[in-house]
Amino acid sequence: MQALVLAGGQGTRLRPLTYTTPKPVIPLAGRPFLTFMLDWLRGHGVNEAILSCGFLSDGVRAVLGDVYGGMRLRYVVEDEPLGTAGPVRLALDEGVLAERLLVLNGDVLCDMDLTAEIARHEQTGARCTLALIEVADTASYGVVPTHPDGSVERFLEKTDGEVPTNRINAGAYVLEREVVEALVPAGRAVSFEREVFPALVGDGLYGWHADGYWIDIGTPERYLEATYDLLAGTVPSALAPRDETGSLIGPGCLTAGARIGPQSVLGAHCSVGSGAVVDRSVLHDRVQVGADCEIRSAVLAERVRVGDGARVEAGAMVGEGARIAPGAVVAADARIDPDTAVEAGEALA
Ligand code: GTP
């Protein structure tokens, strides 16, 4: 089975992390995010994944290489962003598309039963089958009602009002190549959600009711939520065992006299000074936190340095290589750009 993973978005909502690292390979619980997706795909018989990249594509290839756990990885790189369906057309034109394939949004962490989705696709004779997952709050998603035979009725845009179903498009499709040939024009950006799927309603588009764990990691809040869920084992994964605080400490970290946890992740070669607290926070590789600092529900990207006695408050995200001066405070929900210097007394929000 072949899968095409859409991994070329700019990830604007996850800035500043995505200024320097493409979203598909941002570390999640200490591993490049896409490795979770590739493990999941391999578990459902996928032996070849096409990674559809554009934005910072060299970074994706440098991290993942050409083979992952026995799975072949191919890269299709676009010069201009082609949206969600345009990249699949590009892969077709490059001659690498199988007759039937899975198409995945590259920012979803889930354990949906893709094998069952493929079986359903064969059973209905669909041209395209969408995984539909139930969410508690549909306000930030469009919903997709289906007929009793599973065919898609229509696509409803996001709304705060009443909706006929709380099933949303989970970003995992089984797709026949002929749909791409027939409905996706070459050479321009094309959206599955806005152009291709609406044109397929009543003409071979089916939904499959998925259940299990599902989250898209595309916002700071959900990135942290996915981290906590992985640490707690809410979603199955091959993570190393967590310590007694439910935290994951990478190799080569120095933390004597510091309080790490609960639910925190330290990447490789981090140091945290004595008397410092790292609480429900994520430190990527080689982060240095001084003595007596407080880091709470925050994300510090690679090589960030935090001076003694500084504080990083809840929801803050600090970009790669930024330096926080001793005693400085990074306010709640602040976004600090890569390589910025934050001085003590500077009010940053
Ligand atoms: P935001 O800018 O924060 O909305 O994130 P995003 O750029 O990732 O967009 P979005 O979350 O809507 O994208 C859903 C999936 O499609 C992600 O896995 C993206 O990487 C991918 N994607 C979005 N636009 C493109 C594109 O133009 N080309 C490719 N190859 N993938 C894309």
Domain map (residue ranges) of the chain: 2-232, 248-348
| Mutate-to-test residue for ligand 1 from 10, 25, 94, highest number of ligand atoms within 8 A of CB | 10
Residue nearest to ligand 1 atom 15, measured at CA = 105
Q: Is the pLDDT of residue 48 over 80?
A: yes
Q: Is the pLDDT of residue 73 over 60?
A: yes
Predicted local confidence at residue 83, as pLDDT: 93
Give the pLDDT confidence of 176-218 residue by residue, as tens digits: 999 999 999 999 999 999 899 999 999 999 999 999 999 999 9
Superfamily of domain 2-232: Spore Coat Polysaccharide Biosynthesis Protein SpsA; Chain A (3.90.550.10)
Q: Which residue owns the Cα nearest ligand 1 atom 7?
A: 9
Q: Mean of the pLDDT values across residues 257-264?
A: 95
Q: How many residues does the chain have?
A: 349
Proportion of the chain above pLDDT 90, given as a percent? 80
Statement: residue 21 has pLDDT above 60: yes
Rg (CA), the chain: 21
Mean pLDDT of 246-269: 95
pLDDT band, very low/low/confident/very high, at 239 (cuts 50, 70, 90) = confident
CA–centroid distance, 222 to ligand 1, in Å, is 16
> For the segment 154-172, what is each residue's pLDDT rounded down to a tens digit?
988 777 778 889 899 999 9
Q: What is the mean pLDDT of residues 2-30?
A: 92
Distance separating alpha carbons of residues 335 and 12, to the nearest angstrom: 12
346 pLDDT band, cuts 50/70/90, is: low
Residue 17 has pLDDT above 90, yes or no: yes
Give the distance (Å) from ligand 1 centre to CA of residue 278: 31
**What is the model's pLDDT at position 348?**
58
Instruction: Give residue 347's pLDDT band: very low, low, confident or very high (50, 70, 90).
Output: low
Q: What are phi and psi of 53, to 5 degrees?
A: -125, 165
Query: H-helix or E-strand containing 318?
Result: strand 317-318
| Closest alpha carbon to 306 in 318, 281, 323, 294 | 323
* Residue 33 confidence (pLDDT) above 60: yes
Atom of ligand 1 nearest to the CA of 216: 11
pLDDT at res. 349: 55
Name the CATH topology of 248-348.
UDP N-Acetylglucosamine Acyltransferase; domain 1 (2.160.10)
Query: What's the mean pLDDT when you consider all of the chain?
Result: 93
How many Å lie between the centroid of ligand 1 and the Cα of residue 8?
A: 6
**So what's the pLDDT on residue 343?**
86
- Give the pLDDT of residue 186: 94
Asked whether residue 146 carries a pLDDT value surpassing 80, the answer given is yes
Closest CA to 1 of 115, 126, 127: 115
Q: Tell me the per-residue pLDDT of 97-137, one tens digit each, with 9 for 90 and over.
A: 999 999 999 999 999 999 999 999 999 999 999 999 998 88
Q: Which protein residues touch ligand 1 with a CB less than 6 Å away? A: 6-13, 23, 52, 54, 78, 81-84, 87, 105-107, 218
Distance 150 CA to ligand 1 centre (A): 27
- Mutate which of 5, 6, 17, 169 for ligand 1 pocket (most atoms within 8 A of beta carbon): 6
Residue 282 phi, psi (nearest 5): -120, 125
Q: How far is the CA of 105 from the centre of ligand 1 (A)?
A: 8
How far from 219 is each of 12, 72, 177, 225, 244, CA to CA, in Å?
A: 9, 29, 32, 10, 28
pLDDT score, position 78: 92
CA angle 180, 184, 189 (to 5 degrees): 130
Which pLDDT value is given to residue 39?
94
- Whether the per-residue pLDDT at 333 is higher than 70: the answer is yes
